[in-house]
Structure 1
Amino acid sequence: MKGHLVSIITPSFNSEKFISDTIQSIKNQTYQDWEMIIVDDGSTDDTVSIIKEFLTDSRIQLYQLDQNSGTGVARNKAITLAKGRYISFLDSDDLWKPEKLQKQVEFMTSKNQPFTFSYYECIDESGKALGKIIQAPQKLTYRQLFWSNWVGNLTGIYDVNFFGKIAISSARKRQDWMMWLNILKKIKTAEPVPESLAIYRIRENSISASKTVLLRHNYKVYRDFHHKSIIGSVICMIGFLFTHFFIKPKYVKKSRPE
């Protein structure tokens, strides 16, 4: 399928075990009008040499930062280089299903929506399916997003013609949540493509694997991004925990492990 160019933003750092599968999942897209901008954040393993094997495809671009600067810096570098009408995100250890871009672009154009996302599935570090699909409200509001990040980073896509290029926060974690909040401030509500189109890898040392680290970074979103007081941030965290333990589980569906 041909259409508007989609820029895929991929920061990489020491992802030699996963990057090949990640890139291949892009090459397997049924929607072929894309560019993949990989910005390596100072990898010290074979990540860069593996990426270079794919550069025979002119749609794949590699840029290397002089030193490790964090995913925010890497993503912002890629965004400045992006030429696409649409900007999407895929980290160097995650995967897209073959019809991901096609279904999302068709969804956005048919509904005249400048932003959308989708459901996604989870695998462990070795690639084993964990048997669940992460869903989201069918009409996501800013208020809902305030209490928890319903948008998987690997599923979000936005229209540059509507928003312009959105700079990523310099914070080390939860940059995607803050970006989606800025988007929902402008459009008020967003609809997901109601099916699983991506696969999220939960690594042993990732933020998703450490609930304590996750809570600390979420607190910083309320404190630094929303400019809440210490007491206000604590109250917001209580709301976050309520959403995380009592509302979000209703949107996690069992799937058949592959």
Structure 2
Amino acid sequence: MTVSPVQAIREEHAYPLVSIITPTYNAARFIRETIDSVKRQTYPYWELILVDDGSKDETVALIQEEMIDSRIRLIVMPKNGGAAVARNTGISTAGGRYLAFLDSDDLWLPEKLEKQVSYMQRNDVAFSFTRYRIIQENGTQTPFVVPIPRQIDYNGLLKNTIIGCLTVMLDREKLGVVQMPNIRTRQDTALWLQILREGHIAYGIQEELSHYRKVVGSISSNKWKAARNTWRLYRDIEKLNFLRASWCFLHYGWNAWKKSVGQSG
């Protein structure tokens, strides 16, 4: 049986492999910088699975130029299916014990994987996330680093959707099958809630290890859409009754406001 370069590295060094899932859609402006931030990781035992979801720009060609590094793989979807479908497609081909997520316009600091794998192994943790800094669309850093709790459970996350997707790492040996709900928005938060609902705890690493790019016009930058999607998450996915959903939504709104004030401060 042929052994892939990534598998050979893992077997030779006995370090756990991290599978990084990156969906792309018309990401030509930022994708090289994003891939570069992965290639600069001090922890070398990773595979980057990029899933292109029907890009109409030069995204695929740019990724193909980066595939001289055998740890980088590309899956081209036959048609646009949305971020959840793209992420689940990447997850289904992942060979790593650990799953990490990085969107096509965000960045990691060089020690992100090394520090997070070390933390999870040292503390026997199945789910971790970290602090992250907001950067402007042009890459300029803002002074705002998103504060996070040291740990959060299901009820806590319902009231404060504080976990940044670009910061998450999951241990599949502890969690079993990982799959995002097939919804167009908030599929990452829906997955975190699904994991925490089963009794797991998410642990926050109190260190800035990622940069989140705030792109004008993106879904996440539209506060009204974000609020509407969160309400739908409570009612349609989590099946909360109206009173509980309203209580959680009030807390969500308060926390979102505090975060917004911090970013503008």
TM-score after normalising by structure 2: 0.90
Cα shift at 1:244? 2.6
Q: Matches of 2:241 and 2:264 in 1, distance apart? A: 39
Task: Give the superposed CA RMSD.
Answer: 2.0
Alpha-carbon separation, structure 2, partners of 1:253 and 1:220: 25
Counterpart check, 1:112 vs 2:124: yes
The alignment status of 1:211 with 2:230, answered yes or no, reads: no
User: Which of 81, 87, 106 does residue 75 from structure 1 map onto?
Assistant: 87
Measured after TM superposition, the shift of residue 140 of structure 1 is 1.6
Q: Give the secondary-structure state (helix, strand or coil) at the position aligned to 2:63.
A: helix
Residues of 2 paired with 1:193 and 1:242: CA distance? 23
Unaligned runs of 5+ in 1: none
More off after superposition, 43-52 vs 200-209: 200-209
| Secondary structure class of the residue paired with 1:224 | helix
Alignment: residue pair count = 253
**1:97 shift after superposition:** 0.3
Shift of 1:245: 2.9
Q: Does 1:152 align with 2:167?
A: no
**SS of equivalent to 1:61:** strand
Partner of 1:162: 174
Structure 2: stretches of 5+ with no match in the other structure:
1-8
Q: Helix, strand or coil for the counterpart of 2:255?
A: helix
Q: Deviations over 1:1-51 (max 9, x none)?
A: 962000000000000000000001000000000000000000000000000
The one-letter code of the counterpart of 1:103 is K
Q: Which residue does 2:41 correspond to in 1?
A: 29
Instruction: Output one character per residue of 1:145-179: Cα deviation in whole Å (capped at 9) or x when no partner.
Output: 01121110000000010112311111111111111
**Structure 2 partner of 1:191:** 203
Indicate how the Cα distance of structure 1 residues 44 and 254 shifts in structure 2: closer, same or farther if over 3 A, else same.
Answer: closer
Q: Which residue of 2 aligns with 1:84?
A: 96
Amino acid at match of 2:211: I
Q: Is the 8 A contact 1:123 1:201 kept in 2?
A: yes
2:50 to 38, 59, 73: 38
1:133–1:254 contact (8 Å) kept in structure 2: no
* Cα deviation, residue 229, structure 1: 4.1
Residue 17 of structure 2 corresponds to residue 5 of structure 1: yes
Match of 1:93 in 2: 105
Work out the CA distance in 2 between the residues paired with 1:229 and 1:146: 13
Say whether 1:123 aligns with 2:135: yes
Alignment partner, residue 5 of structure 2: none
Percentage of pairs with the same residue: 39
Contact 2:134/2:212 (CA < 8 Å) preserved in 1?
yes
**Counterpart among 31, 36, 45 of residue 19 in structure 1:** 31
Tell me if 1:202 matches 2:228.
no
